[in-house]
Structure 1
Amino acid sequence: MAKCVIPVLLSWSLVACNTGTVTEDTSLQSAAWQWQLPTNFPVPFVPADNPMTTAKVELGRHLFYDLRLSGNGTQACGTCHLQEKAFTDGLAVAKGSTGEFHPRNSQHLANVVYNTTLTWANFSLSSLERQMEVPMFGEDPIELGINDKNKEEVLQRFVQDSQYQQLFSQAFPEQNQAINYANIIKAIASFQRALISGNSRYDQSLTGKATLTASEIRGKDLFFGEKAECFHCHGSFNFNDQVRHAGSRIVETPFHNTGLFNIGGTGEFPFPNRGIFELSGKAEDMGKFRASSLRNIAVTAPYMHDGSIATLEAVLDFYAAGGRNITEGIHAGDGRKNPFKSELVTRIDLNEQEKADIVAFLKTLTDDEFLTNPKFANPFTQAKQP
């Protein structure tokens, strides 16, 4: 895969050993942080108050996987975001550190640096730093469960750890007391920004390093063509329609009602999963959610904001039907007739072969290198996890 290497900032560099310990690599202390980007990927946007450094990314990786970053010490960010599943968890909805279920499905983190907004349905969360406050300190639902009663105890777990004393001092060398929540958030956000995925078979085919099968090519043509028209919501280099990068001049934040529900024919979605309506209160925003990137989609089942569709094949059936018709139960209603449904979601006349071809193409978006890259992996062995 052709890549452009873009130096960003001189920084420290760390090497994580598989024993869970960290040693300083003095030979790399003067190395620059570099974006390893495919040639068709733009330079990511990074906020000026949290520049990327190698040391900060490495600190963020440790914090991302550390169970101690939860009130009761039982859960980490990595609990709900597993690398082998493109940083999802395989569950219909996420489960927090206290056992409380989140109403929504854990989103994958591949190329999250390019997302304009960061959750399924919150137009106000547009930075990774701001979003990180939600799982850490949120009370409804409880995720990591850090609160006023335990936040000092949680912080002391890192203050008293000699390994983290070193990690923080290398990531924030200008600060005398670097171990604080602001820096924890900055470090995790930096690690998340480093999660670049762009070496799937589809990407390789663009540079002549891989060849798609006849079925995959037919699926690609349907995906980007006028029959299926998937490209309207998934046509960017990141296969979504909310993209921000360093060169962005206009930043759009579309959300879509896809006809997943239409309770009682009223257009209603189940509370509290009613899309950006929960924030705006506008009737036309009922059931509007962000279109997720389709990269690595084959490993991120189940699908939709509530994890209610189990397979890619079922997702294709749903979109081909122009929505979902629920015939019984408390959520009964014909989503195909939802009055707030996007005009982009209409019935598509696809035969079984065409559906299979589109699924075959979607599977070419799996980036095996990303799913196994040791730079993104848990630095703690099971035996050494604090």
Structure 2
Amino acid sequence: MSSRTNIGLGVVAIASMFVGLSAVPLRADTPYVFELPVGFPRPKVPADNPMTVEKIALGRFLFYDTRLSGNGTQSCASCHQQERAFTDGLPQAIGSTGQVHPRSAMSLTNVAYATALGWANPLLDSLERQALVPMFNERPVELGLAGKEEELLQRLRADLRYQRLFAEAFGRDTDRISLGNIVKAIASFERTLISGNTPFDVYVQGLDDNALSEEAFFGGRLFFSERLECFHCHGGFNFTASVTHDGNPFDETSFQNNGLYNIDGRGSYPPENTGLFEITRIPEDMGRFKAPTLRNLSYTAPYMHDGSIATLEGVIDHYAAGGRTIHSGPYAGDGSKNPYKSNFVRGFSLTEEEKQQLLAFLRALDDPAFVSDPRLSDPFVPWPCRADCGYDGVVTVDELVQAVNVALGTSSLARCLPADASGEGDVTIDELLQAVTVALNGCDRKPAGH
């Protein structure tokens, strides 16, 4: 008997063993229970998009899938990377076609509690609506899907994993793989990005009196003092004055001008970055941007709406000066004299010891568990595929056939490897049997280089 496989016979023989399995599952609406840190309120959830385990699982795949860009090069996670507290480490975000966004990608830390979603648009008030912006925005292009809606849907409809995940999340309706359901799933996943396990949280919850260093403790006293005024814009459980949650009688959104620019001496900001003024056209709104959360600051540099301050030390220096002075170039001006600047940005003086204390406190708002939580990580695993694409414990005929075809190299699936471990261009019976074993049972072994 030849040691090489007959592709057609191999697929048919293996598939025939599982003829009785259902290809498309029934919808499952397993309620999702938020695991909230002590003192955190329940996030507000839209009535037409209740949180379910199935939608979150689907949304996680969509969030990390580069097929959600027009040219297949970027995903939501390209600009919102977990290890950076779901931002990208760049001063300004870069879209799938290489266009540079005028603003920095915002961290998604605790985005479930955000009111206005973005730096300066009070009208963008739901995660479902916000998800459409990077997908279809044309000035600048982000994910670049404008005019390619049907192409996106066809990509997902052709994938067996998504057939199962959408069916589990939204049922067997023929139109279940739709744009509306895509944004509902992504928004559901984003609402699980909750961070509240920092040294500061552990200390204030009374769980460990030593969780906060003495230096950070005194830094906290400075932070919450009228001398520095930080807490007015960055207060509350999420260290921002812009917050919404379940049971909140009204949403709070804080847009502030912090004296970052004063180009003409009359308060002007760079024309592509005028803040709330872009929406309202009210002169006093020039340069007003949302005060973001201060959680996970160590992971989210550079800072400000345009990433123009590289370090936390630089941020403190900026506020200590009461605004930034730019001495030359097209943006030259004394931001401390901006007529629209917030009254809270008045400037202050710190000794070097106090500055280090304040830095220690800000770094005590970091949550290492959040940026490494496997439940929030990329679900596309670069190793021989387990065929159970729906991760429901059932391998369907279609899933197994696809896994075998991937193993044989006659089909492809995102980040799954063919079974040709020896690399000589053919798949041996042993290699195929190993691939089938992995497809049915999973495997802890990752290939070399991964």
Q: Same fold (TM over 0.5)?
A: yes
1:42 aligns with 2:41: yes
In the TM superposition, residue 242 of structure 1 has moved relative to its aligned partner by 0.7
Return the letter of the residue paired with 2:204: L
Partner residue, 1:18: none
After TM superposition, the structure 1 = structure 2 runs for residues 370-381 of structure 1, keeping only pairs within 5 Å, are 370-381=370-381
Partner residue, 1:160: 158
Change (3 A) 1:271 1:385: farther
In the TM superposition, residue 351 of structure 1 has moved relative to its aligned partner by 1.5
Is the 1:92–1:302 Cα contact (8 Å) retained in structure 2?
A: yes
1:128 aligns with 2:137: no
In the TM superposition, residue 174 of structure 1 has moved relative to its aligned partner by 6.0
Deviation digits for residues 126-170 of structure 1 (CA, Å, limit 9, x no counterpart):
10111111101111010000022x221121110010110000000
Return the letter of the residue paired with 2:162: Y
SS of the aligned residue for 2:189 comes to helix
Is the 2:257–2:342 Cα contact (8 Å) retained in structure 1?
A: yes
In the TM superposition, residue 226 of structure 1 has moved relative to its aligned partner by 2.1
After TM superposition, the structure 1 = structure 2 runs for residues 161-310 of structure 1, keeping only pairs within 5 Å, are 161-173=159-171, 175-210=173-208, 211=210, 212-310=212-310
In the TM superposition, residue 207 of structure 1 has moved relative to its aligned partner by 2.3
Return the letter of the residue paired with 1:385: R
Is the 1:71–1:151 Cα contact (8 Å) retained in structure 2?
A: no
- Structure 2 unmatched runs, 5+: 1-22, 384-413, 417-450
SS of the aligned residue for 1:73 comes to coil
Partner residue, 2:427: none
Return the letter of the residue paired with 1:254: S
Change (3 A) 1:363 1:381: same
- Structure 1 unmatched runs, 5+: 1-23
In the TM superposition, residue 122 of structure 1 has moved relative to its aligned partner by 0.4
SS of the aligned residue for 2:255 comes to coil
Deviation digits for residues 308-337 of structure 1 (CA, Å, limit 9, x no counterpart):
000001100000110001111111100000
In the TM superposition, residue 175 of structure 1 has moved relative to its aligned partner by 3.0
In the TM superposition, residue 176 of structure 1 has moved relative to its aligned partner by 3.4
In the TM superposition, residue 182 of structure 1 has moved relative to its aligned partner by 0.5
Return the letter of the residue paired with 1:370: F
Q: Higher strand proportion, which one?
A: 1
Structure index of larger Rg: 2
Partner residue, 1:93: 92
Q: Distance in 1 between matches of 2:367 and 2:256?
A: 27
Is the 2:79–2:86 Cα contact (8 Å) retained in structure 1?
A: yes
Partner residue, 1:109: 108
In the TM superposition, residue 206 of structure 1 has moved relative to its aligned partner by 1.5
Q: Distance in 2 between matches of 1:152 and 1:30?
A: 27
Q: Distance in 1 between matches of 2:80 and 2:153?
A: 22
Choose between structure 1 and 2 for higher RCO, CA contacts under 8 A separated by at least 6 residues: 1
Partner residue, 1:362: 362
SS of the aligned residue for 2:345 comes to coil
In the TM superposition, residue 30 of structure 1 has moved relative to its aligned partner by 7.8
Q: Distance in 2 between matches of 1:102 and 1:313?
A: 25
Partner residue, 1:10: none
Return the letter of the residue paired with 2:130: Q
Moved more, 351-360 or 47-56: 351-360
SS of the aligned residue for 1:178 comes to coil
Is the 1:158–1:164 Cα contact (8 Å) retained in structure 2?
A: yes
Partner residue, 2:415: 385
Q: Distance in 2 between matches of 1:137 and 1:207?
A: 43
In the TM superposition, residue 208 of structure 1 has moved relative to its aligned partner by 2.9
SS of the aligned residue for 1:68 comes to helix
Moved more, 135-144 or 203-212: 203-212
Q: Distance in 1 between matches of 2:54 and 2:415?
A: 20
Q: Distance in 2 between matches of 1:226 and 1:339?
A: 22
Is the 1:66–1:385 Cα contact (8 Å) retained in structure 2?
A: no
Deviation digits for residues 27-47 of structure 1 (CA, Å, limit 9, x no counterpart):
xx6854110001200111001
Is the 2:66–2:74 Cα contact (8 Å) retained in structure 1?
A: yes
Q: Distance in 1 between matches of 2:134 and 2:263?
A: 30
Partner residue, 2:410: none
Is the 1:263–1:331 Cα contact (8 Å) retained in structure 2?
A: yes
Q: Distance in 1 between matches of 2:160 and 2:332?
A: 56
Partner residue, 1:20: none
Q: Distance in 1 between matches of 2:326 and 2:99?
A: 27
Change (3 A) 1:260 1:30: closer
Is the 2:262–2:337 Cα contact (8 Å) retained in structure 1?
A: yes
Partner residue, 1:12: none
Partner residue, 2:16: none
Is the 1:218–1:358 Cα contact (8 Å) retained in structure 2?
A: yes
Return the letter of the residue paired with 2:132: E
In the TM superposition, residue 254 of structure 1 has moved relative to its aligned partner by 2.0
Q: Distance in 2 between matches of 1:238 and 1:307?
A: 21
In the TM superposition, residue 213 of structure 1 has moved relative to its aligned partner by 1.2
TM-score by length of 1: 0.90
Partner residue, 2:52: 53
Q: Distance in 2 between matches of 1:303 and 1:335?
A: 16
Q: CA RMSD in A?
A: 1.5
Q: Distance in 2 between matches of 1:264 and 1:285?
A: 16
Q: Distance in 1 between matches of 2:233 and 2:117?
A: 16
Q: What is the number of residues matched between the two proteins?
A: 359
